[in-house]
Amino acid sequence: MSSPDRDRLRKLWEMTEPVQSTDPGVLRRRKYQEAAAKWLAKWSYPLQAIFAATGFSVVLLPMFSKNWRSAIESTPVAAQIFREFSNLSGWPIVLLFVLLALLSFMNLNVNDYPGGWHPTRQWGFPSPKQTVALELYPTTRAEERVFWVNFVLGTIGTSFWLLGFGACAFFLKPGG
């Protein structure tokens, strides 16, 4: 199951093979883990681009152009996104707390990261593409829990652009 490219990358990142005993139930779910990791590796950057473009055009740009703001406010969905994120109320606050909770969970469970990756030795969590290339799939229940939380964080985290542009818009508005 080991490939020369994977072994070379693991050596480059100074990673050792995990020596923990494996859980057969976790290994049976490997196809789902691989599918999720490959999906996130494929769609993470496009999702970020979509949320960045939406955040810029729907949340931040209306703060600079009155014509664009009236166009956004006349579109029901865009108006709702603009109001919520430029005021940092409602769903943006829920999103912020969800992201903070997931990130806190990941930081509290750094020793259970799948595949021998250790965020303090490898300077952070792996990108979705690194997860696929290095085959950082779980073998124990604790690793599986961290893997799925990381997947959810990676998916929901792409919307962080909306929060960033919303914070800029919040501080740019008069009296904000």
Q: What is the pLDDT of residues 129-140, one digit of tens each?
A: 888 888 888 989
pLDDT value, residue 127: 84
Q: At 116, give phi and psi (nearest 5°).
A: 85, 0
Evaluate if pTM is beyond 0.85.
no
Has residue 122 got a pLDDT over 80?
A: no
Looking at per-residue pLDDT, the higher value among 19 and 30 belongs to 30
The Cα 155–Cα 133 span in angstroms is: 18
Number of neighbours of residue 144 by Cβ within 10 angstroms: 21
pLDDT value, residue 20: 66
Looking at per-residue pLDDT, the higher value among 33 and 114 belongs to 33
pLDDT value, residue 173: 77
pLDDT value, residue 117: 74
